[in-house]
């Protein structure tokens, strides 16, 4: 049977049409993810990768044997050159799916994902200045500087509304960030002074950074395009993404003397161990021990 292209414009839609039982099983999968309050990105990644596997075998995932799955994963990474991220999301998605269908034994037989200990890429302060000055567009210059100024995650930046920026209290309200948590982030004086000019020139309606459609947030690809285009106009050779600005924010705060617990709160990290990694990157000069009595009276000899 031949299906018209418009019936499945995405991998997931195609699997729902072509694989017997997949649509019904995926509805159950979607309902469970909603009940578990999983993020939209997790749902999208798991769903796409599970659909990809189902299309490969022509069966729903729980009808595929562990041996077949291992061979499939090997082919993905070795022969088809899929990214490690795609591999991990497929494994995580399969574990979730198998547990949903009471197949804990199969979930336990999925490959172990080893956590790699890598240090983040960080820009120097001079490189940040060079990057922020590179775009010709005011909107793009403001976006890059704003992302760094608050250490925002990509989706936090995209979904930020104008009303979330409090110029009087010099803070930004992040609503439902990672882990479904709200938090406040500091607002730089430099941003405060230029904020009204940005609004008057760019004229966003609802979101601080909008795409081509007024009132709608910029897409992730559009934002990544902004930084890639800016990088081409600089001498920076590092592998840089929008998340690099978040890493740079945290590292520069450490180098400026801000304590690790304050940085953890600003970044929205649930675990201090996630924040401590920046101690291995920051160039912090050791301080000579001294008596607090001298500090108390600002006494210097």
* CATH number (domain holding residue 160): 1.10.443.10
> Is the domain of 154 the same as that of 200?
yes
Catalytic residue among 106, 183, 246, 252: 246
> Is residue 288 in some structural domain?
no
Q: Among this protein's residues, is 247 annotated catalytic?
A: no
Mean pLDDT of 218-238: 94
Task: Give me the pLDDT at residue 116, please.
Answer: 64
> Is the domain of 13 the same as that of 59?
yes
Q: Among this protein's residues, is 269 annotated catalytic?
A: yes
Task: Give me the pLDDT at residue 225, please.
Answer: 94
Q: How confident is the model at residue 293 (pLDDT cuts 50, 70, 90)?
A: low
Catalytic residue among 278, 299, 300, 301: 278
Q: pTM of this prediction?
A: 0.65
> Is the domain of 216 the same as that of 138?
yes
Q: How confident is the model at residue 9 (pLDDT cuts 50, 70, 90)?
A: low
pLDDT at position 282 over 90: no
> Is the domain of 144 the same as that of 240?
yes
> Is residue 296 in some structural domain?
no
> Is the domain of 97 the same as that of 197?
no
Q: Which ranges of 75-137 would DSSP assign to H, the alpha helix? A: 84-100, 104-108, 125-133
Catalytic residue among 48, 153, 158, 183: 153
Label residue 186 left, alpha or beta by phi (over 0 means left) and psi (-120 to 50 means alpha): beta
Structural domain count of the chain:
2
> Is residue 295 in some structural domain?
no
Task: Give me the pLDDT at residue 175, please.
Answer: 87
pLDDT at position 37 over 60: yes
> Is the domain of 41 the same as that of 176?
no
Domain span at 227: 125-280
For residues 56 and 37, the model is more confident at 56
> Is the domain of 144 the same as that of 249?
yes
> Is the domain of 145 the same as that of 238?
yes
Q: How do residues 147-179 score in pLDDT, each as one tens digit?
A: 999 999 999 999 999 999 999 999 999 987 666
> Is the domain of 138 the same as that of 270?
yes
> Is residue 172 in some structural domain?
yes
Q: Cα dihedral angle (203, 171, 258, 274), rounded to 10 degrees?
A: -80
Domain C-terminal end among 108, 141, 162: 108
């Amino acid at each position: 049977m031949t299906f018209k292209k418009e019936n499945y414009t995405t991998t997931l839609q195609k699997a729902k049409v072509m694989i017997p039982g997949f649509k019904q099983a995926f509805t159950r999968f979607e309902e469970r993810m909603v009940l578990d309050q999983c993020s939209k990105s997790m749902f999208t990644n798991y769903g796409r990768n599970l659909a990809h596997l189902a299309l490969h075998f022509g069966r729903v995932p729980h009808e595929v044997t562990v041996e077949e799955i291992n061979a499939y994963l090997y082919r993905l990474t070795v022969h088809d050159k899929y990214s490690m991220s795609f591999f991990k999301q497929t494994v995580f998605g399969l574990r979730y799916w198998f547990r949903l269908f009471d197949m804990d034994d199969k979930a336990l037989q999925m490959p172990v994902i080893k956590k790699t200990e890598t240090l983040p890429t960080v820009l120097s302060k001079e490189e940040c200045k060079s990057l922020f000055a590179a775009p010709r567009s005011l909107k793009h210059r403001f976006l890059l500087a704003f992302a760094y100024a608050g250490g925002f995650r990509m989706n936090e930046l995209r979904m930020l509304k104008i009303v979330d920026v409090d110029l009087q209290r010099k803070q930004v309200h992040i609503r439902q960030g990672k882990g479904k948590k709200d938090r406040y982030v500091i607002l730089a004086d430099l941003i405060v002074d230029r904020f009204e000019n940005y609004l008057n020139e760019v004229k966003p309606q609802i979101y601080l950074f909008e795409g081509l459609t007024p009132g709608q947030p910029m897409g992730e690809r559009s934002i990544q395009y902004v930084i890639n285009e800016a990088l081409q106009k600089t001498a920076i050779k590092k592998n840089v993404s929008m998340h690099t600005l978040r890493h740079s924010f945290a590292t520069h705060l450490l180098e400026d003397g801000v304590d690790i617990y304050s940085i953890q709160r600003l970044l929205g990290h649930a675990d201090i161990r996630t924040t401590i990694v920046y101690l291995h990157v920051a160039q912090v000069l050791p301080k000579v021990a001294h008596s607090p009595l001298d500090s108390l009276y600002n006494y210097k000899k």
